[in-house]
Structure 1
Amino acid sequence: MTETDEAGRPGAAGKPRKPRKAVHYGAGREALLSAAVRVVARGGLRRLTYRAVAEEAGVTHGLVAHHFGSRDALIEEALAHTVRTSLNTSTLGAGTGRSTDFSAGLADMVNSDPDTQAFQYDLLLEARRRPELLPQVRTLYDEYFDATRRELSRMLPEDADDGLTRLVFAALDGLVLHQLVLDEPAATEAALARLRSLLRLLGADGDGDGDGTSAPTIAGP
């Protein structure tokens, strides 16, 4: 005797086969990457498998394998996807050269898409245990460092050096982590206002003359 088909006709041993989940072949590569991010955000990088992503996206296991070829490729492309998402939805690289626009809406960005941030922090911690992930993590941070340096250089009288770039991004990175865990948007925005004040002390927006003599006080927002 044959197994039942999806209409429920009798099968082997008279047991009906479970209906298969609908497959959305039109979901595309970006949808699969988003599914991978959600899997990691919920269960950690060790839960990331083709089958887990397929289940999350509502597609076949083979489709995920076809798109990415290896788990390492899936991780690398999911990471690149999260970087694009973060840079597109934040104003880290606003391009206006105004301190008031620098990282505006950071708390809202985290709250609207916490999985993207959780994926990146999980990968960061996993790289400490698995050095083979370090190249992907370095790529992640290089993207953020470059975006931060470009925006600081637009705001300040001189191009931002590596030390200032990393200092400012470390502040932003810490605020994102705290917002992700503690969910205190008012505290995040207050800290960002102080950061912008510090940047104006360095001459952001042309407020200073390069030697600090005409810079505003740090008490201002």
Structure 2
Amino acid sequence: MTAAETALLRGGPRYGEGRAALLAAAVRVGATRGLRHLTYRSVAAEAGVAHGLVAHHFGSRDALIEEALQFSLDHGVASLSSAPGSGDVSALFVGVTSWFEQDADDAVFQYELILESRRRPELRPHVERLYEAYREALRVEMKACGLPDDLNLVHLVFAALDGLVFQQVCLGQTGATEAALDQLRGLLSRLR
């Protein structure tokens, strides 16, 4: 159970948990209802607090979206390796399916933001930052594994990973995702 879910059961977040609970609620609202429904009121209702608290913490809807993206991104980037910096190719992508199973809203929120940026160009810098953060974290992990420090290779591997996560979001075929990730790790091992 997440901090925000626990807060809802208690009637709202405890002191010091408010910001994280609001960010988790924003991610859930964005994932389940889309970014167009991400408002102070919808986030407050999801978190079990007054909507003024959301405005107090974030000041603008854009700031709320930006911080919710960073909140979800932190979880996603952490799933790239089960042993960050270790150089162990077999640790790459091990946490991807478990991240999705535990925090599916993070991935769905990110895809909602990506798709909404086609309709709202002002969101594009957020999407660029999202992709850049994933590619840079992946580049660091691949370099630690002794793989070539090649931005085109990083882009290719991330595109494969991104596509697999998107299919997991849409189809929920964990077994197929795991098998494909095993194949991807095998290909990367042979490149070393």
Shared fold (TM-score, shorter chain, > 0.5): yes
1:128 to 109, 118, 133: 118
The answer to whether residue 23 in structure 2 is matched with residue 30 in structure 1 is no
In 1, Cα distance between equivalents of 2:163 and 2:83: 18
User: Match of 2:19, as an amino acid?
Assistant: R
Tell me the CA shift for residue 183 of structure 1. 1.2
> 1:190 aligns to what?
179
Q: Which residue of 1 aligns with 2:29?
A: 39
How many Å separate the matches in 2 of 1:149 and 1:183? Answer: 27
Distance 2:47 2:128 in 1: 28
Q: Determine if the alignment matches structure 1 residue 175 to structure 2 residue 159.
A: no
Change over 3 Å in CA distance of 1:23–1:193 after alignment to 2: closer
Q: Do 2:80 and 2:92's aligned partners in 1 also have CA atoms closer than 8 Å?
A: no
**Aligned-residue CA RMSD in angstroms?**
1.7
Are residues 1:74 and 2:76 paired?
A: no
**Paired positions, count:** 182
Q: Secondary structure at the match of 1:108?
A: helix
| CA shift in 2, pair 1:61/1:157, >3 Å | closer
Q: Which gives a bigger RCO, structure 1 or 2 (Cα 8 Å, sep 6+)?
A: 2
Q: Which runs of 4+ in 1 moved over 3 A?
A: 22-25
In terms of Rg, which structure is larger? 1
Q: 2:150 aligns with which of 161, 164, 170?
A: 161
Q: What are the within-5 Å matches in structure 2 for residues 1-221 of structure 1?
A: 22-24=11-13, 26=15, 27-91=17-81, 94-158=84-148, 160-203=149-192
Q: Give the Å deviation of 1:39.
A: 0.5
Q: Indicate the larger mover: 91-100 or 60-69.
A: 91-100
Paired amino acid for 1:113 = D
- Cα drift, residue 45 of structure 1: 0.3
- Provide structure 1 residue ranges, at least 5 long, that are not aligned to the other structure: 1-21, 204-221
Query: Do the aligned partners of 1:92 and 1:147 also contact (CA within 8 Å) in 2?
Result: no
2:101 and 2:127 map into 1 onto residues whose CA distance is: 23
**Shift in CA distance, 180/92, structure 1 to aligned 2, threshold 3 Å:** farther
TM-score, normalised relative to structure 2: 0.89
Residues 93 and 148 in structure 1, CA contact (< 8 A), matched pair in contact too: no
Q: How does the TM-score come out when normalised to structure 1? A: 0.78
The residue identity in structure 2 corresponding to 1:126 is: E
Give, in whole Å, the separation in 2 of the partners of 1:135 and 1:103: 26
Question: Do the aligned residues in 1 keep the contact of 2:82 with 2:95 (CA within 8 Å)?
Answer: no
d(CA) in 2 for partners of 1:46 and 1:148?
31
Judged with a 3 Å threshold, the aligned counterparts in structure 2 of structure 1 residues 107 and 28 are, in CA distance, closer, same or farther, namely same
Once the 2 structures are TM-superposed, how far is the Cα of residue 156 of structure 1 from its aligned partner?
Answer: 2.4
